[in-house]
Structure formats: C-alpha cells, structure tokens
Structure 1
Amino acid sequence: MRIGELAALLGVSTRTVRHYHQQGVLPEPPRRANGYRDYGMRDAVALARVRRLVQLGLSLDEAREVIAEDRSRELAEILTEIDADLARQEREIRERRAKLADLLRRAGPLGPDDVASPDLLMLLRAVSLPESKAAAWDRELLMLMDSVAAEPGRRRALAQLESLAADPEAAAVGHEFYRRLDELADAEPGDPRIAPLARELAGYSREHLLAGSGPATRGWDPALLDPFLDGLAPAQAQVVRQAVEIIATGFRTDAGTSATTG
C-alpha cells in the first residue's frame, strides 16, 4: 500500500507518517523502480505502535527504541501484545463511561425532552464560530452541559456566553484558541505549545466564563472531564486537562488566601 493508504488505515495524516520517518521513529521502506514506497503489514503495525506509545506519553526517542526492538520480534507476538493493550483500553473506556454516567446522575435525571435550551441554540446559531474541529467539540460540550444544568446556573452561563459573543475582542481571542488547538491535532503529548496554551485558556475562562463561580468551581476534579475528551487528539486533551487543573487549583488558592487575609 502507498503512504496515503497507510495513514488512512491508522487514522493519521501523511504528514504525521513523514514526520515519524524524519525522526527515525518509523522505518521508511525503500523506493521501488516505479518511484513509490510500498508499505506492508509490519509497517502498519509499527505505526500503530508508535501512535499508542505517543498517546501513553513516551517521547519519540523512547518510542524509537521500542520500535527498533520490535524489528527482531515475530509479528504475531507484537499483534498479541497490541490486542492485550486494546483489551486494557476497552476496560478503561468502560470505566470512563461509568464516571460519565455517575456525573449525569448527579446532574439530575434526564427525560426525553431534556436538550439544550432554546436560548443557547439561538445564541449558537447567531454567533459566527470558525470552521474548526476544536470549535465543533466546544459547541457540543456547551450543549451537553446546558442540557443537564439546573437553574440558575444555566441562566448565569448563558448570560456569560452572550456577553462574550457581544465583545468582538474577547470573541476574537476565543477563535484564536480554537486555531491553536487545531494546530495540536497531530502534535505529541509533550509538545512545548501545550503548557502555555493551557495557562492562557485557564486565564481566559476564569475572566470571561467563570466569573463569580469560585465556590462551584473550587471542587472541580479534572479526571471527571475525561469522558468529554474523546473527540480531541491527545495533545489537545492535555491542554484542556491542564487548563481545568489550573482553574481548580487557582480557585482553591484564592479561597485559601481570602480565608487567611479575611
């Protein structure tokens, strides 16, 4: 198969495959007489291994060592190991779904008509969101959280969103966050852009979306957000997790300072 077929098979871009070649992580097959490189089953397995190792937080240097060791192993042995890893992932997904179910139960029972409020749907239709996967994910999350929110929290959140949409400068900054998140779609979890973006996103959220929400936000557990991150790439999800941790820690710090100085 060609490089595009290999990339599509594993759900990555050809740019990602070429990047792994350039970094020496993924062996590059020689060109044939027709000028093309042909990839086989072992190449597909190696790419799958690289992606999984990166998701687990290994650096490319560490992944390179693992892939180099795999070259001396039987393909069946590697596939068996991947199958065992998929089984572990399946258990983790079930656990994450259980956390989500618990979160929804605590938010209150949902009936068949419990959907996002008409006011929020009208606002989302009125604002101009960019053509962005990150923006689409954010929109879905807003609708989900609105559908389970109780009054007056729903009204307060909607008012903050309306205020944000009415501020061209703040909205432009929000769109820039979407663009920067989209740029991390193929990035590694250790990308140096993650931490600065998380800090800026946390500050933006506290200023524009969470004003006056200290008591409600102080008890946030970043792990509870995991069920909502399936639509994001690993590096993008890391930005959101770090931003939530910064927000929660910041509010806890603020509360402690107020108690001390008050």
Structure 2
Amino acid sequence: MRISEIAGLVGVTTRAVRHYHHLGLLPEPARLANGYRQYSVRDAVALARIRRLTELGLGLDEVRDVIADDAGHELAEVLGELDADLARQEAEIRTRRARLAVLLTRAADGRLTAEDELSPELAHFCAQLGPLDSDSPMAAKDRELLALMETAASPEERGRIAAAMRSMAAAPGAAERARRVYALLDDLADADPVDPRVETAARALADCLPPDLAAQVPAGAEATAQGFLKAFLADFAPAQAEAVRRAMRRVTPTEEGE
C-alpha cells in the first residue's frame, strides 16, 4: 500500500502518518526502488492502534509509552489516569450546568444582572459589600478587577482569592469601609500625586486589604504579577495609583520585617 492508501484505510491523513513516523510511533516501512514507501497489513494494524489510543484521549507521548510496553501495564495505568481526569471534567460540567440553570431562571424572570455572571463565591462577596454604587467609578472598576483576577487564576489560585475575599468580607464594618475607600479614591481622579488626600486614601485602602497580600502571589509568578500590577496601576489616575502603591507597601512585608 502507498501512504495515501494506508491513510485512507485507517481513516487518518497522510500528514498524520508522516508525523507518526517522525515521532517514532510508526516504524518506517520498506521503500520501493523508486523511493516510495510500501506499507503492509502489519503497518496498517499498528497505525490503527495509534488512532484508537489517540481517540481514547491519550497524548502522543503516552501512546509511545503504551506501544513500548508489550505487557500492557502502561496502558492500564494511563487509562486509569484518563478515567480519573474525565471524572473530574464530568463533575466540573455538572457544576457549570447547575450554575447555568440558575442564570437561565433569573434571565427568564428578568432578574439577570452583570454580577450574576460571576462565580458564586465572588457574587456572594459582592453581595456582602452591598449594592454597587452606580455613581462610583472606582467601585465598578474594583469589581471588574476581581472578576478578571478570578477568571485568569488557576483553580489553586482561585481558592486563595476566595479565602482572602471571605476574610475581608467577614471583618466588621467591611461594607462601610469599602464604600469609604471608593469615595476617597474617586475624589483623587483629578488630584496631584502629592495631594495630602492620597495618604488618607492609602491608609483607608490598606485597612481593607488582607495583611498577607504578598502571600497570595504563587511562587514563581512574581514576574507575571509585576507585569499585571504595572498595567493595573496604569489604568488609574496618577493620584489614585500613588494611593494604591502606598497601600500595597503597607501590607507587603519588607525584608527587614521578615
């Protein structure tokens, strides 16, 4: 069989066959005098096995390990891991569908809002802080930022963010302090960075932030965090950005304090 014939027989592309040759998954067959590959039925059997394994969800590196293990132990282990991963995905899908059912019900009742798009944890945190002040640009920006952080975070990071939000919301007077901080920062929209009100806003903001804020940055992610912080501060007016910097310095331990 020529390469186009074996590819058509097994139901893959000729490009896939060449790729499997390149990776060493499918041995190169004998070649005719004209240089064309000449495939046998055994080659087709091997190619069909590769296709079956990839359709099960195995990566090509895993397929290579399975093919190299004649006793079948590697396949059993890989299939067990794959089944566990599929079970996790299945559970996540059930959770997402349950969340969608709630949103669809609220939409049918005409009660769907932008905050309903948030995760239950973040929506609960926002609810604890009270209704969004439509006159506060800073309040709207804060909730947009929280939604961005949660969306971009890994599951482990989302857990840390959720724990920090629970700690902040559980503090006595959290809602009142948050509204005061929003008002102080809104007042700095047209102020100079050396305005005395900057320090007042910084102190108030620091009182709202978790004391272990630096610990929320995963190990090895400092460069990404610094890049995000730079873009984050660039979205503020100069005086507002200065207040945020001062607040973060207050809750970030220095080397002398460690």
Q: What is the TM-score of this pair, normalised by structure 2?
A: 0.44
Higher relative contact order (CA 8 A, sep 6+): 1
From the CA coordinates, give the structure whose radius of gyration is larger.
2
Q: What is the TM-score of this pair, normalised by structure 1?
A: 0.43
